Amino acid sequence: MPDTLGEATTEERATIAEAITDFLVSRSEERFRRSAPVATDVAAGERLFNTVGCIACHSPLEETRPESTNGLLKLSHVSEKYSVSSLSDFLFRPLAVRASGRMPDMSLTRAEAKAVASYLIGAKPQAENEWTLDRSRIEEGRAYFEEYRCSVCHSLDGLSPVARAPKESELNPGRGCLSSEDSGSAPRYGFSEDQITALRTSLSAASSTPTASPSEAAEAPIAMTLTAFNCIACHSRNDYGGVAASTNLLFTTSEPSLGDEARIPPQLTGVGAKLRGDWLRAVLFDRATVRPYMHTRMPQHGEDNLASLVGYLRGVDTIPPHELRPPPQKQRGEIRDAGRKLVGDEALNCVTCHNFNGKESPGYKGMDLITSYERLQPSWFYRFMRNPNAIRPNITMPNNWEDPDQIYDDILNGDVDAQIEAMWYYLSLGRSAPDPSGIRRVSTRLEVEDVTRVYRGRSRVAGYRGIAVGFPGGLNYAFNANTGSLAALWSGDYVTVNWSGQGAGGFNPAARTVSLPQDVTFMRLDDAKAPWPLRPKMTKEKPVNPDPTYPRNYGYRFGGYQLDQSEVPTFLYSSGDVQIADRSEPDFSGEHPVLIRTLLFDSPRDETLWFRALTGEIESLSDQQFAVGRLKVTLPAGRFNLRPLEPGATEKGTSKTELVQELTLPQGTSTVTIRYELR
């Protein structure tokens, strides 16, 4: 942030700064308010700060290792700049404020963002310095904002774009901000003489003929990107980057027996030849991960900032191609069984160290093998299987075919290439791949112990993207991630898992449930009478889904979920432009167990959404309370519409109805709380 006020006097600087502050404050409807951090949040925030990856760029507040501050940005100033609320809002969605991506999204939940903010603000009292807005200076501030070209770097709605910045070739290295003497009205960055010399040299070199080799020139934008976004604080590539010795021990894992590979982010040397382009994009932009045991999280810098990186990596990183062909139709069963045997404990015994299809390995809990086909390029997979240490030196993965006695002559006549091809085809079956021998060692009944438990799988109560959440104390619910609906509640035992078929193991509640509608939950409607779009139904006569994009067609997007320190999930999804964080917790203080569902909405503008709360034989108990069977629901005050589910539809003489509620959402964040009581 440069000094842009040129030769203005101290008094003039104060006048300009106050006017610009009034202009900016006038554009916000929110008031800045301080609040004392909660001690438990401060402690939780310090743990998160030291584990999820903040220490890659920032030094801890209580720095006990002086050498580790080198190159790290200190954060001791944030308590003067932020409140707990404002800092937690920023940490939850940093790219919405700083689109440049230099401060990445660390996939913090709301609760985690508040905890980290509480730690950074600290427990010491903060001075009250509330700003008193002087509306008479707003237009003066706008004029200064434009005069000093603040919009060159900062966007603000309603302001005209600034004039074009000069091209690099038009710059004079001896003038303006690079002048070692008076820079006049140019911004002042406080450059040292060494920095000025370096910038002048760079500008002079830009106009000369490049001397880099083609390979160096191709690698340059990759190195620049990885350095600019500080990816090299965690990842190494070729001969640069990697975790510093001073912060090494702060990178931790829940599976220490797997060694450094379970706690240190992977190297990026050759990653463009290793990973499929779609998977690279999923990791960079969609929070995809296959290392749940690694506490450090992959930062999200935003697609606008890293969109070209995938192309750079794919263009530079190459290996000789090796085709892994799908087998002929008549041989697919034989090849699948061969791959299955190789992966299982009757041959290579990969499942001793790797999970498989959501099921835990009986030994180490390494990366789930079923993700291999989705992530890896076949040529890389082949060469890695032939000699893992040639690609990843010192890796704990054994060279399975180094010993001639380990060729397994009884599988595909001992042909190693054919065996690797069989494993690749077997893994290409994805979730439908039958379990290999040695992996199925999980009880069919899952129990909740002293922390919340989350299980994902197909379910009759929550669809094929079902997520079961069980709380200590015996209250459970199921969430349908395909439509964003709270699909079922039950008390008592958690779930049973069916391992008899293929796939990751579908679940069903282990007690009697109360079911809720599984159609898209939030919707824009033209008016209160507009019909609710229902999810398509399939039958034996019509087994094909007539509308496979049903949820997306109505604005729903699922963004995953995050777990807090108590393993309680917050589901993240959107309805159109409205971002929704959906978190539920139990309350056992009353006569019956209650699930308290908190929905946090973040809307870019004033918005109206309709919420489909209940369907069935609905009983109205009061203005805000309704019941269906054993379930009593308390909704926030608002406009309701209790209407026939389908015109004229009846069952056993009783009309079925649906309850929809109008939610008027202001611009920014707002919260809705719903209570589900199992009577």
Residue-wise pLDDT for 99-116, tens only, equals 889 999 999 988 899 999
Report which of 657, 649, 598 is spatially closest to residue 627, judged by C-alpha positions: 657
Residue-wise pLDDT for 570-614, tens only, equals 999 999 999 999 999 999 999 999 999 999 999 999 999 999 999
User: What kind of fold does domain 329-432 have according to CATH?
Assistant: Cytochrome Bc1 Complex; Chain D, domain 2 (1.10.760)
Report which of 283, 282, 300 is spatially closest to residue 99, judged by C-alpha positions: 300
Report which of 487, 399, 108, 53 is spatially closest to residue 233, judged by C-alpha positions: 53
Tokens for 548? 């496979």
Residue-wise pLDDT for 17-66, tens only, equals 999 999 999 988 878 888 888 888 999 999 999 999 999 999 887 654 44
CB distance 404 to 456 below 8 Å: no
CB distance 180 to 199 below 8 Å: no
Tokens for 157? 């709605």
Q: For strand 240-241 and strand 236-237, is the pairing parallel, antiparallel, or unpaired?
A: antiparallel
User: What kind of fold does domain 445-678 have according to CATH?
Assistant: Beta-galactosidase; Chain A, domain 5 (2.70.98)
Q: Where are the domains of the chain?
A: 33-121, 173-203, 214-316, 329-432, 445-678
Confidence of residue 541 (pLDDT cuts 50, 70, 90): low
Look at the block and give the residue holding tokens 């001639």. Answer: 404
Cα–Cα distance for residue pair 41/119, rounded to 1 Å: 7
Tokens for 490? 């039950």
Confidence of residue 306 (pLDDT cuts 50, 70, 90): very high
Same fold: 329-432 with 445-678: no
User: Average of pLDDT values for 444-471?
Assistant: 90
Cα–Cα distance for residue pair 118/85, rounded to 1 Å: 9
Tokens for 306? 């890293």
Tokens for 510? 């282990």
DSSP assignment of 243-297 equals --TTTGGG--BS-GGGGGGGTSPPP-TTHHHHB-HHHHHHHHHS---S-TTB-SP
Tokens for 633? 């629901």
Task: Give the SS3 label for residue 3.
Answer: strand
Residue-wise pLDDT for 561-571, tens only, equals 888 878 899 99
pLDDT score, position 258: 85
Tokens for 631? 């379930």
Tokens for 181? 């003497």
CB distance 54 to 116 below 8 Å: yes
CB proximity list for 452: less than 8 A, separation 6 or greater = 469, 470, 471, 472, 566, 567, 568, 569
Confidence of residue 454 (pLDDT cuts 50, 70, 90): very high
pLDDT score, position 127: 62
Residue-wise pLDDT for 485-500, tens only, equals 999 999 999 998 875 4
User: Average of pLDDT values for 514-527?
Assistant: 91
CB distance 373 to 430 below 8 Å: yes
Look at the block and give the residue holding tokens 């995809």. Answer: 288
Q: The domain 33-121: what is its CATH number? A: 1.10.760.10
DSSP assignment of 506-517 equals EEEESS--EE--
Q: What is the mean pLDDT of the chain?
A: 87
At position 259, the amino acid (one-letter code) is G
Tokens for 313? 């990596």
Report which of 482, 493, 485 is spatially closest to residue 453, judged by C-alpha positions: 493
Phi, psi of 560 (to 5 degrees): 90, -165
